[in-house]
A and B are shown apart, each in its own frame.
Chain A
Amino acid sequence: MSSDEQELRRAYRDAALEWENSSDAALWENTIADGIERGSWPQSTQTLEDLKPMTQIQTPTLRDRAQTFGLSLEEFDLVVDVMEREPNPLEAAIFGAMWSEHCGYKNSRPLFSRFPTTGPQVLQGPGENAGVVDIGDGFAVAFKMESHNHPSAVEPVQGAATGVGGILRDIFAMGARPFAVLDSLRFGDLSSARTRFLLHGEVEGIAMYGNAMGVATVGGEITFHPSFEENPLVNVMALGLMRHEDLAKGTMGEEGNQIYYVGSKTGRDGLGGAVFASADLSSDSAVDRPAVQVGDPFMEKLLLEATLEAIRAGLVAGVQDMGAAGLTSSTVEMAYRANLGVDLHLERVPMRETGMIPLELMLSESQERMILVPIPGMEQALEDLLAKYELDVVTIGEVAAHGRYKLYWHGELVGDMPVNALNEAPKYTREGVESEEIRAKREMNLSSVPIPENLEEVLLKLLSHPTIASKRPIFERFDHQVGANSVLLPGQADAAVMRIKGSSKGVAATSDCNPRFVYLDPYWGAASAVAEAARNLVCVGAKPLAITDNLNFGNPHRPDVYYQLERSVQGIADACLALGTPVTGGNVSLYNQYVEAGRTVAIHPTPTIGMVGVLEDISKRATMGFKRDGDVILLIGENSSELGASQYLETIHGLEAGQVPRLGLDYERDNQFAVRSLIAIGWCDTAHDCSDGGLAVALSEMCIAGNNGARVSFDPEAYSKAQSEEFKQDVTYYARADLLEDETVIRADALLFGEAQSRFVVAVKAEDINYVLSWLRVYMVAPYQVIGRVGGETLELDLDRHELKLSWSLEQLREAFEKPLLEAMA
C-alpha cells in the first residue's frame, strides 16, 4: 500500500471515529432537523488536501457542498423539493449515489426509449439485473454486459477481477447458472509501458476471478488505440443458462418480508464507487484506490451455489446483488420494483472494520454481497441452506407498506426518503453538436492516398497489428473449457458456441465494436457494431436473438460527446430494429476521459454490442478455418472501393479519416440469411466475415486457422480461365455480374484491405458447388461470386486486372499473426 493510501485510510478512519463518537441520538435528531451540523464526508473522489479539513467539524451549508455528494446545486434543490425539507448528509449522499449516471442514467435514460426492447424471444427486457431470452425447449439465457473502466484504470488486477464478479452476480441473481464470459478490452498503444502494465494486470484479474468461479471465458475482443492510453475499457459480458421456471426477480415481494444480507462483510473498499465511476478520471485518481473493490471469487462461488439452490428450492421472493452503490441501490431498486418501502437497521450490517458509519455502510461497494428476501415461512429453510455453504446471513430489515426508504442506526431514524424519488433521477436531454475536427476528418478526400509498392508487406503489417493479431497467448490464461460446454474455442470461429446439455441446441455469443468507425460517424459506426455482431453469430450458424449494450463515452456535458452518445443510440436502435435483435439491457459508462494539464482527452466513443444467438441444431455449425483441399471459396456480398475508416489507413498511412463503409440494413440481412441458410442446410462448415483489415486479412485468418492455403482471384473471367479442366467441369459460374462492381474501378488496396460491410467468405465442398450456386441464384437475393479454391501451402491472390499476383507462405502469415501478443505477454 502506498503511503498516500495509508494516509488516506487513516483520514477516513479518523473522520469516521469522530462521527461515531459524537453521533448520539440528540445530535442525530439535530442533524435531521437542520441537516447541517456535520461536515461533509470523505468521498473517494477527493484528494488528501480536501480530506484534511473534513476531519474537523465545519459549518458551511450542505448545499455549498452538494457536489461532494455527486449532486449539482440544481439537483440538491430538487432533493429539497421532493423531501419537503433539506436532506441530512447521509440522505444527500444516498440521493447523490442513486442519481449518479451509473445508477440513475440521468443523461442516457431519455435516449433509451428509442431502443426496440420487445420480441417473442424476450422473457425479460431492460430494468432487471439482466436480460433473458427464450432459446426453446424450456431453456432461457440470461445475459448482460457491464463496464469496470475507472477501477481498472487505477488498479487493473482488482478492477478487472471485480468487473467479472459483478456481472456474474447479475446473472445468477436472475436464477441462471453463469456458463460463459466474454471480455471486451481496449487499451492504448501496446508498446507503451502503461499499456503493458494494464494488459498484464487485467488479464491476471480476469483469470484470477473467472477461473476460480468455474465460468468459462470463451471470447471477446481486445483492441489497441492511443485514445485508450490513460482510460482503458473493461467491458465484461456474461451468459447464464436456466429453465424458464427458475426466472428470479430483484423485488422485495410483499409487506412484512424479511430482508437478508448474505455474503462478505462490508468494508470501506469501493466507497463511493458509483460516484467515482461517474467522475472524470484525473491525475489524482491514484488516491482513489480505496474506491476500487477487492474480489474474493471463493466467496462468490459459495454465493452462486447457495443462491441458485435457494431459487430452485422456491425459498426466495426476491434476489439482488449489491453492485454499484452497494446496499443503497440494491435495496432501493428492490423496494421500487415491489412498489413498497423498507426499514433498514444499519447497525446490523456485518462490518469488516470498526468505527464504520451509516454513510460508509450505505455506499460501500464491498464485493460478494447479496440481498435475499425469503418467502414468508421459508426463513429457516433458507438459513439452513446458507449454513451449508458457510455463509453469514443477517436480517437487516423488513419490507414496509409506507413506500419510504427508512434507515435506522441503533434505533434512531437517521434517514427517511421517498423510494420513488430515489429511483426517479432527473433526466437531462442535452444539445449535441458534432466536432468540426471530426467532421473534417470524415470528409477528407482519400483519392490522393498512395497505393503502397509492396502490398505483400502491407498484409503482414496488418496481421501483426495487435488489434488483428492472434489473442491466443491471452486466452490461454483463461479457463475457456470449464463446464464442458465450450464447443468452439476462442480463435476458432467468429463467435463462441456453447452446447446445451440434453438438447440439440447451441448458444452463440459475441461482443463487438469498432471505435474508429464510431469516432468518425457515431450513427453508422454504432449501427455497424450491431451488424458486425450479428455477422459474427451468423458465421457460426446461429440466429441472432438480442443484444446488451455497453455505452462507453466521455463527458456528456460536452456537446461533441453528447452528439456521439445520441447518434450512437439512434444507430443501435435502427440496426436492432432492422436485424430483429431487441435490446434487453445494458450499462452506461460516461466520463471516460482523462484530464491532463487542463487538456481533456476523451476516449473514442465505444458502444460495445454484446449479442446472443441460438443454433437450432448444433451439429450444423461453421468455423473460420479452411478445412479441405479443393473446397470452393465464395464471397457473399460485394467488394467496393471504400477505404474510409479502415485499419489499413490508420496502420499504413497514419490516417484516421474518411467515410465509414456504407451499411444497407436490408442488404445486410439478406447476406446474413444466405450464409446462415448455407450452414443450416449443411452445405457450409467454413465461414468468416470481413472486418478489420478487409478481405485479405479475412482470407489470411482462414488459412492460418485451418492450416491450409488458398488460391483466390478477384476477376471472374480471369478466374475461370485460370481454372483446370477438371474444375471447369464441376463449376459453372453463376455470379450475378449486375450486382458486382467492376474490379477495375476498385483500387488494389481497397479491394484487399477496404472494410466494405456485409461481406462473408465461405467455403463449400467441390461436389456441392453446383447445388450451392443454383440455390443461391434461385432462392437468395444476396450477391455472391466464386473467388477461389482451398489448398496448398501458400495464400495466392490474383488481382488480374491490376496485373498483380500476390503470394504468402502459411509460415509468413502465421508468424506475423502469432508473434505480437506472444512477445507482449511473455
Chain B
Amino acid sequence: MKTTVIQFPGSNCDMDAFHVVSSVLGQPSSLVWHTETALPPTDLVILPGGFSYGDHLRSGAIAARSPVMLEVKKHAQRGGLVLGICNGFQVLTESGLLEGALLRNENLHFLCKDVNLRVENSQTAFSSAYSQGQILRIPIAHGEGNFYADPETLSRLESENRVVFRYVGAVQDAEGNPNGSLNDIAGIVNTRGNVLGLMPHPERASEEILGSSDGLGVFESLVSTLAHG
C-alpha cells in the first residue's frame, strides 16, 4: 500500500500516522509538503491530525485551499483512497470531499480521552477488518469534533449506510457521545466509499504498548482492500 501523508504547517499527527503505516505495517510511505503540486504514485492519501495553519479562520479551512489539496481531490476523483483523521476530517469537510461540518465541542472544551466506537458499516475499504457492530476503544483529542449536517444530508448519510463509526457508551444505553455530534457520528465515508473522515485517532491505538491496538484495523482494512482489489 503506497501511502502519502500530507504535511500542512501546524500538522502534528503527521509523523504518528507515518509511523503506523511505515513502521508498524511496513508499507512504503512518503511525506508531502502542502505546497507540492504533484503527488508521488500513491494508493492512500492521509490527511493527518493537528492544527493546520493554527486553526486560523476555521479548523481546516486554509489547508483545504492549499495547493496540494487540488491533487488530493484529483486522487479522490480517480477513486484513490483518502483518510482524514481529526484535523484531516475537518479539512475534508472544508474542501467538500465530505458532507457536513465539525463544530466546536458541545462543552466548548478541547477533550482528550478514550472513547468507545461501534463499527456501523464493516463493508467499507476502511473497516473491512472489523466485524459489524464491533466495539473499538480509540482516543479522541479535539476541540471541534461536533459533527453537524442538515436533516436531509443526515438522513442520506444514514440511509446510504455511510456512517462508519459511531460513539457508544461503555455499557448499553450509557452516554458515549463526547462532543455533541448529531446521531453520535464519529466517522463517515463519501458516496463512492473511497474517502473517510473520522475524529478519533486510530493511529494512536495501533500498538499494544500504547494501551490499545483497536485502531490498527483501519489501516489493515486498507491494506487488504488494496491486496484483494
C-alpha spacing A478/B109, complex, angstroms: 10
Q: Is the CB of A480 within 8 A of B210?
A: no
C-alpha spacing A487/B56, complex, angstroms: 32
**Range class of the A interface residue count:** 20 to 34
C-alpha spacing A479/B109, complex, angstroms: 12
Q: Say yes or no: is B39 at the interface (Cβ < 8 Å to chain A).
A: no
Task: Report the stretch among A238-246, A296-304, A420-428 that lies at the interface.
Answer: A296-304
Q: Is the CB of A479 within 8 A of B141?
A: yes
- Which of the residues B23, B53, B143, B210 comes within 8 Å of A487, measured between beta carbons? B210
Q: Say yes or no: is B126 at the interface (Cβ < 8 Å to chain A).
A: no
Task: Report the stretch among B155-163, B166-174, B180-188, B201-209 that lies at the interface.
Answer: B201-209
Query: What residues of chain A lie closer than 8 Å to B10, measured between beta carbons?
Result: 212, 298, 301-302
- Which of the residues B20, B33, B112 comes within 8 Å of A477, measured between beta carbons? B112
C-alpha spacing A170/B6, complex, angstroms: 28
Q: Is the CB of B12 within 8 A of A482?
A: yes
- Which of the residues B109, B143, B210 comes within 8 Å of A484, measured between beta carbons? B210
Q: Say yes or no: is A640 at the interface (Cβ < 8 Å to chain B).
A: no
Prevailing SS type, chain B contact patch = mixed
Q: Say yes or no: is B113 at the interface (Cβ < 8 Å to chain A).
A: yes
Per-position 1/0 for A384-427, Cβ under 8 A of B: 00001110000000000000000000000000000000000000
Contact status of A483 and B16, CB under 8 A, knowing A214-B50, A301-B10, A478-B112:
yes
Query: What residues of chain B lie closer than 8 Å to A212, measured between beta carbons?
Result: 10, 12, 51, 54-55
Per-position 1/0 for A206-221, Cβ under 8 A of B: 0100011110000000
Q: Say yes or no: is A346 at the interface (Cβ < 8 Å to chain B).
A: no
C-alpha spacing A619/B20, complex, angstroms: 19
Query: What residues of chain B lie closer than 8 Å to A296, measured between beta carbons?
Result: 54
C-alpha spacing A476/B109, complex, angstroms: 9
Contact status of A487 and B209, CB under 8 A, knowing A211-B110, A301-B9, A479-B141:
yes
Q: Say yes or no: is B19 at the interface (Cβ < 8 Å to chain A).
A: yes
Contact status of A298 and B204, CB under 8 A, knowing A390-B9, A481-B210:
no
Q: Please give me the residue from chain B that is nearest to A489 by CB atom.
A: B211
Query: What residues of chain B lie closer than 8 Å to A302, measured between beta carbons?
Result: 9-10
C-alpha spacing A480/B10, complex, angstroms: 17
Least Cβ distance of B35 to chain A in Å?
8
Q: Is the CB of A486 within 8 A of B110?
A: no
Least Cβ distance of A666 to chain B in Å?
35
C-alpha spacing A483/B15, complex, angstroms: 7
Least Cβ distance of A780 to chain B in Å?
29
Least Cβ distance of B107 to chain A in Å?
9
Q: Say yes or no: is B70 at the interface (Cβ < 8 Å to chain A).
A: no
Contact status of A298 and B54, CB under 8 A, knowing A489-B211, A499-B209:
yes
Query: What residues of chain A lie closer than 8 Å to B110, measured between beta carbons?
Result: 207, 211, 477-479
Q: Please give me the residue from chain A that is nearest to B7 by CB atom.
A: A305
Least Cβ distance of B119 to chain A in Å?
22
Per-position 1/0 for A300-328, Cβ under 8 A of B: 01100000000000000000000000000
Contact status of A486 and B210, CB under 8 A, knowing A301-B12, A501-B23:
yes
Q: Please give me the residue from chain B that is nearest to A476 by CB atom.
A: B113
C-alpha spacing A299/B203, complex, angstroms: 26
C-alpha spacing A298/B56, complex, angstroms: 9
**Range class of the B interface residue count:** 20 to 34
Q: Say yes or no: is A618 at the interface (Cβ < 8 Å to chain B).
A: yes
Prevailing SS type, chain A contact patch = loop
Q: Please give me the residue from chain B that is nearest to A296 by CB atom.
A: B54
C-alpha spacing A686/B32, complex, angstroms: 44
Per-position 1/0 for B1-17, Cβ under 8 A of A: 00000000110110110
Q: Say yes or no: is B145 at the interface (Cβ < 8 Å to chain A).
A: no
Q: Please give me the residue from chain B that is nearest to A490 by CB atom.
A: B112
Q: Say yes or no: is B139 at the interface (Cβ < 8 Å to chain A).
A: yes
Q: Please give me the residue from chain B that is nearest to A492 by CB atom.
A: B211
Query: What residues of chain A lie closer than 8 Å to B103, measured between beta carbons?
Result: none
C-alpha spacing A501/B207, complex, angstroms: 12
Least Cβ distance of A117 to chain B in Å?
34
Per-position 1/0 for B101-144, Cβ under 8 A of A: 00000000111110000000000000000000000000101010
Least Cβ distance of B208 to chain A in Å?
10
C-alpha spacing A541/B12, complex, angstroms: 30
Interfacial residues of chain B within 31-64, with CB under 8 A of chain A in the complex: 33, 49-51, 53-56
Least Cβ distance of B201 to chain A in Å?
7
Q: Is the CB of B53 within 8 A of A298?
A: yes
- Which of the residues B23, B50, B109, B141 comes within 8 Å of A481, measured between beta carbons? B141
C-alpha spacing A195/B147, complex, angstroms: 34
Q: Please give me the residue from chain B that is nearest to A388 by CB atom.
A: B33
Q: Is the CB of A484 within 8 A of B51?
A: no
Q: Is the CB of B54 within 8 A of A476?
A: no
C-alpha spacing A502/B203, complex, angstroms: 17
C-alpha spacing A475/B109, complex, angstroms: 12
Contact status of A213 and B111, CB under 8 A, knowing A484-B210, A487-B209, A489-B211:
no
C-alpha spacing A748/B203, complex, angstroms: 50
Q: Is the CB of A479 within 8 A of B209?
A: no
Least Cβ distance of B41 to chain A in Å?
24
C-alpha spacing A494/B15, complex, angstroms: 28
C-alpha spacing A211/B16, complex, angstroms: 15
Residue in A483, A502, A619 with the greatest tally of chain B CB atoms within 10 Å: A483
C-alpha spacing A483/B10, complex, angstroms: 14
Residue in A479, A501, A618 with the greatest tally of chain B CB atoms within 10 Å: A479
Q: Please give me the residue from chain A that is nearest to B17 by CB atom.
A: A484
Query: What residues of chain B lie closer than 8 Å to A475, measured between beta carbons?
Result: 112
Contact status of A481 and B201, CB under 8 A, knowing A207-B110, A212-B54:
yes
C-alpha spacing A419/B101, complex, angstroms: 57
C-alpha spacing A703/B58, complex, angstroms: 44
Q: Is the CB of A214 within 8 A of B112?
A: no
Q: Please give me the residue from chain A that is nearest to B9 by CB atom.
A: A302
Least Cβ distance of B46 to chain A in Å?
14
Per-position 1/0 for A104-119, Cβ under 8 A of B: 0000000000000000
Q: Please give me the residue from chain B that is nearest to A619 by CB atom.
A: B209
Least Cβ distance of B173 to chain A in Å?
20
Residue in B12, B54, B139, B141 with the greatest tally of chain A CB atoms within 10 Å: B12
Contact status of A298 and B9, CB under 8 A, knowing A479-B110, A484-B203:
yes
Query: What residues of chain A lie closer than 8 Å to B33, measured between beta carbons?
Result: 388
Given pairs A212-B51, A214-B51, A482-B49, 16 additional interface contacts (CB within 8 A) = A211-B110, A211-B141, A211-B143, A213-B12, A214-B13, A214-B50, A298-B55, A301-B51, A476-B112, A477-B109, A479-B141, A482-B13, A483-B15, A484-B16, A484-B203, A489-B211
4 closest A-B pairs by CB: A214-B12, A298-B54, A484-B16, A212-B51
What is the interface of chain A, defined by CB distance below 8 A to chain B?
Answer: 207, 211-214, 296-299, 301-302, 388-390, 475-484, 486-487, 489, 499, 501-502, 618-619
What is the interface of chain B, defined by CB distance below 8 A to chain A?
Answer: 9-10, 12-13, 15-16, 19-20, 23, 33, 49-51, 53-56, 109-113, 139, 141, 143, 201, 203-204, 207, 209-211
Q: What are 6 pairs between A and B in contact, CB < 8 Å? A: A296-B54, A297-B54, A301-B10, A476-B111, A482-B49, A482-B141
